[in-house]
Structure 1
Amino acid sequence: MFHRILVANDGSDCAVKALRVAVDLAQKYRAELHQLSVEEHLPHYAATVGEVLEKQLEEERYFERVAEESKQIADQADIKLMCYILPGHEVETIVRFAEEHKFDLLVIGHVGHSKIWRFRMGSTASRIADSVKCSLLVVQ
């Protein structure tokens, strides 16, 4: 049923839960498993070039740790995990990557927001659901 599975992982508890579900599905379907982390945060204030570069390096190191921890989880289940770290807008980058690489299934974590926040902005999960063309599993 699923041959290529992509999990989006920002390192949050909910994303790690989604990873564990994706690993389980990869085992069950003998599917390829890939992970995408998106670096999107830059300083919210006027910053020097040095400060921006320092912030980018911090994010790279953070997502490299996320990738290593994720590979350990996958290794425990005897699953090979390919990890990617890309810059960009989280929703747009995840949707584009899933489409360009022809994934059968995208697995994401759901992070709850208040009803007011969801009405005003929409959650990342709901914005991805509105845009992605492959099957989507949102892990609570």
Structure 2
Amino acid sequence: MYKKILIANDGSEGGARALSVAIKLAHRLKARLDMICVEEMPIAPATIDEIVEEQLEENHRYERVIGQARSQATAARVKIETHVVSGHAVSSIVEFIERGGYDLLVVGFMGHSALYNRLIGGTTDRLVELAPCHVLVVK
């Protein structure tokens, strides 16, 4: 069935629920499990210091997320490889899937208002639309 699973985790509650499901699935299927976190930089930074500050903040946030993921995976006897990349979440994740040949992407659902989704769209919606593999959305 699935041999390579990628969990996209942004550190949110939805990301934590998706991680839990991905670990259980990887254990059950004896699949490889990787996790990607995407550092989104400011769209129009005023200074280079703003970029550096934002990157340091993201690094600290993802250290916690990665530490929790490794602890949960170890407890479930699942090996997990973690990756932190910079860029736009959707395009970075899609490119990572294509390069890595993943069979399944697991993402958390983050609810927004109907108006927000119509005007802006959600990362999860875009990943379901653009990912070149199956996508499991965890609520």
Give the shorter-chain TM-score range: over 0.9
Q: So what's the TM-score if we normalise by structure 1?
A: 0.94
8 Å contact from structure 1 (residues 37, 85) kept in 2 = yes
Q: What does residue 22 of structure 1 align with?
A: 22
Does the C-alpha gap of structure 1 residues 79 and 70 become closer, same or farther in structure 2, counting only changes over 3 Å? same
Equivalent residue letter for 1:107: V
CA deviation profile, 1:59-100 (whole Å, cap 9, x unmatched)? 112112211111001111010110000000000001110111
1:94 and 2:86 aligned: no
8 Å contact from structure 1 (residues 42, 56) kept in 2 = no
Residue 12 of structure 1: how far off its partner (Å)? 0.5
Residue 49 of structure 1: how far off its partner (Å)? 2.1
Q: What are the ranges of 5 or more consecutive residues in structure 1 without an aligned counterpart?
A: none
Equivalent residue letter for 2:58: E
Q: What does residue 129 of structure 1 align with?
A: 128
Q: What does residue 11 of structure 2 align with?
A: 11
CA distance in structure 1 between the partners assigned to 2:61 and 2:120 by the alignment: 26
Counterpart secondary structure, 2:102: coil
Among all aligned residue pairs of Structure 1 and Structure 2, give the percentage whose two residues are the same amino acid: 40
> RMSD of the alignment, in Å?
1.3
Residue 44 of structure 1: how far off its partner (Å)? 6.3
Counterpart secondary structure, 2:18: helix
CA distance in structure 1 between the partners assigned to 2:56 and 2:130 by the alignment: 30
Residue 42 of structure 1: how far off its partner (Å)? 2.3
CA deviation profile, 1:81-138 (whole Å, cap 9, x unmatched)? 1000000000000111011100010000010010000011111111111101111100
Counterpart secondary structure, 2:63: helix
Q: What does residue 58 of structure 1 align with?
A: 57
Length, aligned pairs only: 139
Equivalent residue letter for 1:70: A
8 Å contact from structure 1 (residues 95, 132) kept in 2 = yes
CA deviation profile, 1:2-48 (whole Å, cap 9, x unmatched)? 100000000101101000000010011000000000000328663x3
CA distance in structure 2 between the partners assigned to 1:54 and 1:37 by the alignment: 18
Q: Which ranges of 4 or more aligned residues in structure 1 deviate by more than 3 Å? A: none
Counterpart secondary structure, 2:135: strand
CA distance in structure 2 between the partners assigned to 1:45 and 1:80 by the alignment: 37
Q: What does residue 37 of structure 2 align with?
A: 37
